[in-house]
Amino acid sequence: MSGTGKTKQDSATLLLLAAVGLALITILTVWKLKQLKYRLINETGGAMFFGMLLGLTVRCMLFGWGEQMDDMETVCICGGPNNTPHSVTVNNTSNFHRIRHVGKVSQRCPSVSTPHTETFDPEVLFNLFLPPIIFHGAYTLNQKRFILNLGSVFTFAFLGTIINCIIVGACVYGFTRLMVLLGRAADGDFFLTDCLLFGAMVSATDPVAVLGLLSELRVDLDLHTLLFGESVLNDAGAIVLTHAITTYSQMGAEPNFDPPAFLLSVGYFLGVLAGSFLLGFTFTVTTALLTKFTRLRENPLLETSVFFLLSWSSFLAAKASGLSGIVAVLFCGLSQARYTIHNLSSEGRCRTKQLFEVLNFLGEIFIFSYMGYVLLMFPHHVFKALFITGAFLSIFISRACSIYPLSFLLNLGRTTKIPRTFQHFMMFAGFRGAVAFSLVRRDTSTEVGRTIFSTTLLLVGFTTWVLGTAADPMLRRLNIRVGVEADDDTEDLSVEVATGGPDTTRGLWHRLDYKFLKPVLTHCGPPLADSLPQWCGLFARLFSSPRVQEDDEQLCETEPDDSAFDLEKTEDRLGSVGGDSGSAHQEDLLEGDLGLGTAPAPAPTREA
């Protein structure tokens, strides 16, 4: 056994052990604190705190390591060949050391991953745990609420992110000019595109942090949907904006506005969004057809494994094809919960939900621990007081400038207004987290990159601890309902369904969802032969399994026992009792509005 292999293996084991230990300490401490009624600390904050403690300890143990490494970097410089060598051999006393090429760097500074690359690539963390976190959020989301609020969610997520990005960029750029005036920075240090890039990267609120808080406090379901929907979708926005700005700044280095490059960026933005959506949906279609037309449900273990692997693949496939993995897995989760779940056995439903729940819980803790660890362990932080001040100020200003005006505009159209208290809380709940971190950590080779990296970590820490801790008192102060159970809402909606309203637009969504997608992908809904035109006969025969006709009603009534799916149950039961038109009526009522107005929607739970 070679010594190196052994050492490497040992350090990998130690690292894993440290991570598991941190997670255990976090879980137990936070749980104990909550039992003692200190409800202010949540898991994400706790995880980050203990991560920082570990980072500090490791740093103290390796004191001076950073400097040492800098010295070593220039030890052996020799003229290489024209092609990049994969490995070089350095003659060191009696042994030969094999050395591996890890990539080009600008000579200024080693990258963030330097202290860990030997044993750990943080990308693994994000590839492993981000998909289950987002998927779990989408999979357990109250579907009706989400569809009711879809328009508003999209507005906040995309318009909001763009507003945030521009305001943060402009504000921080102002502060960097101030730095130049005060002699704290050279003139060419920060370009406008750098500041906009920072704006794009920190403009998104974080679904991990937001979900952690929301599921903890169980706030009003509309507020939950708005905040979670926004945080998931604006990640996509931020990722795409970041890429678009990078592309833009690479194409035209001059700071002047360049319309073709801008249009290209916008096109790219829309393309990535649509592509990711389609990809996520493709994986749902695959899973749904596989579970519908095979007898996989007879073996819940296989069913769960296939469901889990296919859902996870949506993230990986999107990333591999240059799309947004987060958006893909989000839509995959939403559509799996709408269609595939009907094809699963009841044990399969329970298993998938519990599996994602555990992965989501542990993933949150691991990711935040790691952020805390890096905050104190990274040896090349650049803290610039003015830049940090600008960043902190700008994220509040920009959030105010996006939430209040957009809410005002949306309320003009919405039947269910967004109450003023909700707006205050949304303004307040601008947590930054894992996604911002994963964006900024990619480039820490330049001083600008490191300034952005360090400032973002501070922002994450501040929003997680200060805002996260203040959220509970804030909700009480604003008099917003907390401790809402998902099924509190079921009755409200069924009553609304029963009392009904005028039959409005028989929209595209209804036709697509109820008449086409449900019968094709599940055993529920009207027979395909009825809902499709005559000439689609072959298609209808192909996708109607024999079971559809036989046990349609029975299957649709044995719905998941989980409260999140109670709405579905109500809907399906009504659908199978009242037939096509009754169900259509109800679907339109619920889904015609999309939170943008026009259709009569349920009365607001509370007005400001």
Q: Which of residues 194-253 bind a second copy (CB under 8 A)?
A: 242, 246
- Interaction mask 263-292, a second copy, x per CB under 8 A: ---------------------------x--
Q: How many chain residues touch a second copy (CB under 8 A)?
A: 97
Q: Which of 60, 61, 64, 74 binds a second copy (CB under 8 A)?
A: 74
- Tokens, residue 499: 């009392």
Pick from 38, 67, 117, 554 the residue near a second copy by CB under 8 A. 117
Nearest of 467, 34, 351 to residue 216 by alpha carbon: 34
Using the rule CB under 8 A, which residue among 87, 256, 479, 499 binds a second copy? 87
- By C-alpha distance, which of 395, 521, 374 is closest to 459? 395
What's the 3-state SS for 31-69? HHHHHCCCCCCCHHHHHHHHHHHHHHHHHHHCCCHHHHH
Alpha carbons 162 and 401: distance in angstroms, whole number: 11
Cα–Cα–Cα angle for 60, 63, 66, rounded to 5 degrees: 125
Q: Does 320 bind a second copy (CB under 8 A)?
A: yes
Residues in 2-31 that interact with a second copy by CB under 8 A: 2-10, 12-14, 16-17, 20-21, 23-24, 27-28, 31
Secondary structure class of 87 (helix, strand, coil): strand
Nearest one of 12, 9, 8, 25 to 368, comparing CA atoms: 25
Q: Is 102 a residue that touches a second copy (CB under 8 A)?
A: yes
What is the C-alpha to C-alpha distance for residues 392 and 172, in angstroms, rounded to an integer? 9
Work out how close the CB of 542 gets to a second copy at its nearest, in angstroms, rounded to a whole number. 19
Q: Which of residues 455-514 bind a second copy (CB under 8 A)?
A: none
By CB under 8 A, residue 107 contacts a second copy: yes
Q: How far is the CB of 456 from a second copy (least distance, A)?
A: 14
Minimum distance from residue 199 beta carbon to a second copy (Å): 16
Instruction: Give residue for tokens 């203040």.
Output: 470
* Under rule CB under 8 A, residue 111 binds a second copy: yes
**d(C-alpha 280, C-alpha 135), whole Å:** 11
d(Cα 12, Cα 89) in Å, to the nearest integer? Answer: 24
At closest approach, how far in Å is the CB of 14 from a second copy?
5
Least Cβ distance, residue 353 to a second copy (angstroms): 11
Q: Is 413 exposed, middle or buried (0-12, 13-18, 19+ CB in 10 A)?
A: middle
Instruction: Give whichever of 1 and 508 is closer to a second copy, judged by the CB atom.
Output: 1
Question: Of 196, 188, 15, which is closest to residue 116 (Cα–Cα)?
Answer: 15
Using CB under 8 A, which of the segments 54-62, 90-98, 332-340, 405-413 binds a second copy? 90-98
Per CB under 8 A, 81 contacts a second copy: yes
Is residue 141 within 8 A of residue 337, CB to CB? The reply is yes
Q: Which residue in 101, 476, 477, 541 binds a second copy (CB under 8 A)?
A: 101
Per CB under 8 A, which region of 121-129, 326-334, 461-469, 593-601 contacts a second copy?
121-129
Question: How far apart are alpha carbons 176 and 182 in whole angstroms?
Answer: 10
Write the DSSP string, 268-288: HHHHHHHHHHHHHHHHHHHHH
In this chain, which stretch among 118-126, 165-173, 533-541, 595-603 interacts with a second copy, using CB under 8 A? 118-126
Q: Name the minimum Å distance from CB 16 to a second copy.
A: 5
> Quick one: 12 or 577, whose CB is closer to a second copy?
12
Any idea how long the chain is? 608
Helix (H, G, I), strand (E, B) or coil at 604: coil
Residue 483 corresponds to which tokens in the numbers above? 């401790």
User: Shortest distance, CB of residue 376 to a second copy, whole angstroms?
Assistant: 21
Question: Quick check: 312 binds a second copy (CB under 8 A)?
Answer: yes
Question: Which is closer to a second copy, CB of 279 or CB of 532?
Answer: 279
- Of 243 and 510, CB closest to a second copy: 243
Cα 563 to Cα 525: distance, rounded to the nearest angstrom:
21
User: Which of 301, 466, 498, 577 touches a second copy by CB under 8 A?
Assistant: 301
Considering only the stretches 156-164, 304-312, 485-493, 540-548, report the one whose residues sit in contact with a second copy under the rule CB under 8 A: 304-312
In the complex, minimum distance from the CB of residue 106 to a second copy, in angstroms, rounded to a whole number: 8
Separation of CA 146 from chain center = 16
Q: Is 99 in the site for a second copy (CB under 8 A)?
A: yes
93 near a second copy, rule: CB under 8 A: yes
Phi, psi for residue 492 in degrees, rounded to 5: -45, -50
Q: What character string, x for contact with a second copy (CB under 8 A) and - otherwise, covers 402-441?
A: ----------------------------------------
Q: Mark out the alpha helices in 339-384 (DSSP H runs).
A: 346-377
Asked whether the beta carbons of 422 and 171 are under 8 A apart, the reply is: no
Q: Looking at 94-102, 502-510, 546-554, 560-568, which segment touches a second copy (CB under 8 A)? A: 94-102
Sign of CA dihedral 406, 409, 412, 413: negative
**How large is the C-alpha radius of gyration of the chain?**
26
Stretch that binds a second copy, among 104-112, 142-150, 204-212, 549-557 (CB under 8 A): 104-112
Structure tokens at 380: 């090349």
308 binds a second copy (CB under 8 A): yes
Q: How near is the Cβ of 409 to a second copy at its closest, in Å? A: 34
CB of 118 to a second copy, least distance (A): 8
Among 60, 188, 256, 295, binds a second copy (CB under 8 A): 295
Q: How far is CA 435 from CA 237, 324, 402, 499, in A?
A: 11, 12, 20, 43
Contact 528, 543 (CB under 8 A): yes
Compute the least distance from the CB of residue 88 to a second copy, in Å: 4
Stretch that binds a second copy, among 266-274, 305-313, 418-426, 533-541 (CB under 8 A): 305-313
Nearer to a second copy, 29 or 598 (CB): 29
Q: Which of 442, 481, 506, 606 binds a second copy (CB under 8 A)?
A: 442
Name residues contacting a second copy, limited to 342-381 (CB under 8 A). Answer: 351, 354-355, 357-358, 361-362
Distance from C-alpha of 424 to C-alpha of 109, rounded to nearest angstrom:
42
Nearer to a second copy, 233 or 296 (CB): 296
Closer to a second copy at the Cβ: 117 or 558? 117
User: Do 564 and 142 form a contact (C-beta atoms < 8 A)?
Assistant: yes
Inter-axis angle of helices 221-251 and 160-181, to 10 degrees?
50
Judged by DSSP in three states, 117 sits in coil
